[in-house]
Amino acid sequence: MHRFFVVPEALAGDRFPLPVKIAHQVTRVLRLRDGDEVLLLDLWGRLPTAGSVFADITWVGFTGAQVPDEHREVFAAAVGGRDAAIALVQEAARQGRELRGWEVDRAARSGLLKSDFMLTSASGLHATPIGEYVLCVMLMFCKGAPRFVRAQERREWLRFMPQELYGKTVGVVGLGHIGAEVARLAKAFGCRVLATRRSVTSRTKGELVDELLPPPELPALLAESDFVVLAVPLTPDTRHLIGEAELRAMRPTGVLINIARGAVLDEAALVRALKEGWIAGAGLDVFEQEPLPPESELWDMENVILSPHISGGTEIYNQRAVGIFCENLRRYLAGERLMNLADPSRGY
């Protein structure tokens, strides 16, 4: 029996020698004929080539069916013939349903979570950069950064009174890895922190937050918060979790920050809320349609800070991703429970 790594087509070329470069986001095991297994990997990273953990791994191909000519001989040597190599890659692509760059919510929509395949995520990897991003956006609103940046562009000496973040109430919708890091940083800045969590059934004190609320008390969190941070996964229950009623429940001075998924927020309702003054502003890193269309009104709104889905980016992303992958590979080979297994009942 052979095990094969199937890596993305994007790694083709002289810059990415096959025995060195791999990728990881969703790790999936495909059972092929003759007992062979294919481990589908995503997210670029660097994997050690030495050590007993990797001793029985054969390096192979791409998730796409087209194999670059310069690599075909490598694949052929790995699986015993060019035809076999190409057939293997094609079957992996077909069964894998093109897992390149998939988030778990996309896998859920495809029905993959209901299959008998193991699906893991890179949960927790983004907590630090996204937590910092959220604090950056809150500080930008408090200190009036958009105003003085625009004034600088006009060469205008514009003086105004900034605000403090200290003492503000931050409401975190979804206290997972990312929400917990946002809460920790907000507390370090002297904020009062409220949060909702799916598993909570009544108001209680939390370790990282001043009050932990069950999901039905979301309106109370919205009404009490100066900043509302969306940090929930996208599931059928959270799609358009924030719509017109929820936006109207926020303070007129409140700011909404979305680093979850675009569809968690009803974007049309948000545009109306920003134009009509239901809320004071929004910080948006994710959108219902990405890239955000040029005709979107959000581009020109002075009370909006937006970014192109980069809040989770970091210069050491690959190191963290490969660390998660290597630990999961070790567990898989040892027959142990994998980290970050997706739960079909929750949808993530």
H helical segments located in 144-241: 145-154, 177-188, 218-224
DSSP strand pairing (57-62 vs 44-46): unpaired
The span from the CA of 125 to the CA of 100, in Å, is 18
Catalytic residue among 28, 100, 126, 261: 261
All residues at 6 or more sequence positions from 190 whose CB lies less than 8 Å from its CB, including other chains: 165, 166, 167
What does the DSSP 8-state code read for residue 55?
T
Helix (H) or strand (E) holding 87: helix 82-96
Q: Which of 192, 309, 330, 331 is catalytic?
A: 309
Active site residue 261: yes
Token pair 């999936």 in the structure block, residue: 28
Compute the distance between CA of residue 151 and CA of residue 129 in angstroms, rounded to an integer: 28
Six-digit token string for 296:
């979107």
Q: Is the peptide bond before 129 cis (omega within 30 degrees of 0)?
A: no
| Contact in structure between 76 and 85 (CB atoms under 8 Å) | yes
Classified as helix, coil or strand, 334 is helix
User: How many Å apart are CA 289 and CA 312, to the nearest integer?
Assistant: 18
How far, in whole angstroms, is CA 239 from its chain's centroid? 16
For residue 38, count other CB atoms closer than 10 A to its CB.
24
Q: Any bridge partners for residue 120, and if so which?
A: 341
Q: Catalytic: 71?
A: no
Give me the phi and psi of 44, to 5 degrees please. Answer: -60, 140
Let me know: does 61 contact 92? Beta carbons within 8 Å.
yes
- Residue 66 φ/ψ, nearest 5 degrees: -85, 115
Could you tell me if 277 and 302 are in contact, meaning their C-beta atoms sit under 8 angstroms apart?
no
Active site residues per annotation? 261, 290, 309
